[in-house]
Structure formats: C-alpha cells, structure tokens
Amino acid sequence: MNVWSIKSILSWADTYFSQRSVDSPRLTAEILLAQALGLRRLDLYLQHDRPLEKQELAAFKILIRRRIAREPVAYITGHKGFFKDQFRVAPGVLIPRPDTETLVETAVEILSEMEDCGRQARVIELGVGSGAVIISIANACKSHLYFGSELSSAALAVACANAKSFARTPVSLFRGDWLAAVAPQPLFDLIVSNPPYIPSADIEFLAPEVRDHEPRQALDGGVDGLDAVRVILAQAGDRLLSSGRLILEIGFDQKPLIKSLVQGFSWVTELDFIKDLAGHHRLAVFKK
C-alpha cells in the first residue's frame, strides 16, 4: 500500500497542476495542502516526512478538484493577502489585486500630508468589495473619518466582517450605488474607487479564474470600459470639497480615453496619472 507523505504528495500535486497549466503549481499545491491540513506553509517543510491520513488526503483532493475547475485559490482558502493583512474573500466578491496597492499607497501619501497640516479628512471608497482598500488606508492613517459604499449585499457582508476583524480605526460601510446615496453637497476630501473598467467585449478573453468565477458587475465597464467612471465623475464634483481629490484605478491603456473624457467635467482643475510597479498607468487622480 502506497503511503503518502507531505513531501511526496506536494511533488505529485506540483506535477499534476503543471500538466493542467495551473498558474504557480508548486505554490498552489503548498497553499491548498496547508489549508487541508490546517497548517502553515512553513509547517509543511518542518513535517515533510509526516505520513498523511486517509481523511487528510481526501480533503486535499477536494481542494485540488476545485482548483482544476479554475476556481481561484483565494475563494478556496477564503482569504487573500493585500497590503498588510489577510482579508476574507468569498464568491461574489472581487479578489484584491497587488496592482491596487498603488491606490492605497497614493491615498496614504495624500492623507499623510493632511495629517502633517493638522487636518482631519473625510474619505470614502466607492464599491468597497472586500473592504481591503478602505480598511488598509484607514489603518495606515488613523486620524481621519472613513466611509464606504457597496451595491452588492454579498460583498458588503464580507466587507463588514473584514472591518470588524481588521480595521484599527472605525470604517462606516453602507449599501449604495457609487455616490447615489450621499447628499449632493461638498462632504469629502478624498474619494477613491477601483471601479469596473474592462470593456465588455474583452471579458470573454480573461483567464477562466476571473471570467467564470469573479463577479461580472465588478469587472464589466461597458463598451469602452468607462461606464462607471462616467457615473462617478458626474457624481463626485458636487460631493468633493474644494481642492478635494478623486482617485480611480484604470486600465493600463485607458489614459488617452480618460484625458478625453474629463474635458466634459468642468469641476476637474487638475488631472494626473500614476504608474504601478510594472510601469503601467494605473491611477487617474482628479482634483477639484
């Protein structure tokens, strides 16, 4: 009878995932085995010769089948690392991406300048998803007031759970469609959002992990990818304080479209673009 050890099952899973073109096969095998065994990844190597029991093998194989069906690892494990925390995620909630950390870093830089001047800012995120962005900003700059809106009830429930577990300063979350639920008066110093910005026709060409599992309403930006951006720009002008800023994550090739679009919004006095670590224009920063 074959006895599987942690070391041998990892080697087998690595090969199995590689043959099926699963991204990062070794890392995926380690994450899923650690999940099945209730261990840290480090423990897999500290206990590499440990034989696995029948029920442990069965639990691992269930996770393998889910990954082969292209379910994202984050949905299988129920969490995703972002900025400085491991946030809860679930089906129906957009998985936070490393590129979006640029949004957090830029917001923190702006808010830190306000702190140095002794100002307390009001900050709102539109479409919070898991809540990872607004919670990360709030944890980095604790002296400001934080809010977040989310249309999806499923995502809002996850964001509230994350806020309860990880927010080290209060974050007020509510259900709303962008800024529609907020009175049209100057209230905020900073508005941030990672809206859907993928053109509808491009959705079918996304990786199956994204196309078939993540919420379409968090991805699909309409014909040119800018439907949500137009709505947010139309709503933000009345709700930003003078010299307030709106920061939007955008597609790497959307800078020209944004520059053209913004000409129709007279409240915008300055427009800047910020690159991510890969050198792509990742953020558009609008100043009132």
CB count in 10 Å sphere of residue 112: 11
What does the block give as tokens for 136? 């990360």
**Residue 223 assigned ligand-binding role:** no
Q: Do 214 and 146 touch, CB atoms closer than 8 A?
A: no
CB count in 10 Å sphere of residue 24: 13
**Residue 150 assigned ligand-binding role:** yes
**Residue 127 assigned ligand-binding role:** yes
What does the block give as tokens for 208? 């199956």
| CA-closest candidate to residue 224, choices 186, 267, 180, 260 | 260
Q: How many helices (H) and strands (E) does the chain have?
A: 11, 9
**Residue 196 assigned ligand-binding role:** yes
CA gyration radius, the chain: 21
Q: What burial class does residue 199 get, using C-beta atoms within 10 Å of its C-beta: 0-12 exposed, 13-18 middle, 19+ buried?
A: middle
**Residue 194 assigned ligand-binding role:** yes
**Residue 4 assigned ligand-binding role:** no
Residue type, 288: K
**Residue 279 assigned ligand-binding role:** no
Q: What burial class does residue 218 get, using C-beta atoms within 10 Å of its C-beta: 0-12 exposed, 13-18 middle, 19+ buried?
A: buried
Binding positions for S-adenosyl-L-methionine: 127-131, 150, 178, 194
Question: Which residues participate in the annotated binding site for substrate?
Answer: 194-197
The annotated binding site is made up of 127-131, 150, 178, 194-197
